[in-house]
Structure 1
Amino acid sequence: MEIGGIISAIIVGLIIGALGRLFAPGRQSISLIVTILVGILAAFLGAWLVPSDDGFSILTLVVQLVLAVVGVIIAAQLLGRNKRSRI
């Protein structure tokens, strides 16, 4: 991956992380930094799983968004601030 691809993956990751948090069900009590890191990771992983020849693919974006939603849900379960048990 070239430097332009890395920079674009980071920028897309910021947006994908925010959208992943928006589309994740329920309330997520994770920090903004964790959301951004999940989005960047989802952007890199999605670009690796579904590479595109011309640099842009709707399928790649959909895969990145799904990965971000799953990542936000997992991060909220593992790192959530409000882990009170309700009886």
Structure 2
Amino acid sequence: MGILGWIVFGLIVGVLAKWIMPGNDPGGIFMTILLGIAGALLGGFIASAIGLGTANSFTLGSMIIAILGAILLLFIYRSVRRT
């Protein structure tokens, strides 16, 4: 997947993660894209480490892995911001 594909994928994943875990987070669309891309990378890393697969293409499985990674990042961000 090229850089434009990762940006679109990150936008979709970031929006879905924020829809699943709503809250008052700063950053707007740029942070949503970064959250989605980082979530895809984190989710892909964790999934490949435990043998579930990777987030290296635009499939339903990689979308779920990426969303779970983005939700994990969002949870960590909110936990750190609270302290």
Tell me if TM exceeds 0.5: yes
- Where do 1:64-75 residues align within 5 Å? 64-75=66-77
Superposed CA RMSD in Å reads 2.8
Q: Which residue matches 2:63?
A: 61
Indicate conservation of the 8 Å contact 1:13/1:36, yes or no.
yes
TM-score using structure 1 length: 0.63
Q: Larger RCO: Structure 1 or Structure 2 (Cα < 8 Å, ≥ 6 residues apart)?
A: 1
Unaligned segments of structure 1, at least 5 residues? none
Q: Is the 8 A contact 1:13 1:43 kept in 2?
A: yes
Higher relative helix content: 2
For structure 2, the residue ranges without an aligned partner over 5 or more in a row are none
2:13 is matched with 16
Aligned length: 76
Rounded Cα–Cα distance in structure 2 between residues aligned with 1:52 and 1:78: 26
Aligned to 1:36: 33
Q: TM-score, normalised by structure 2?
A: 0.65
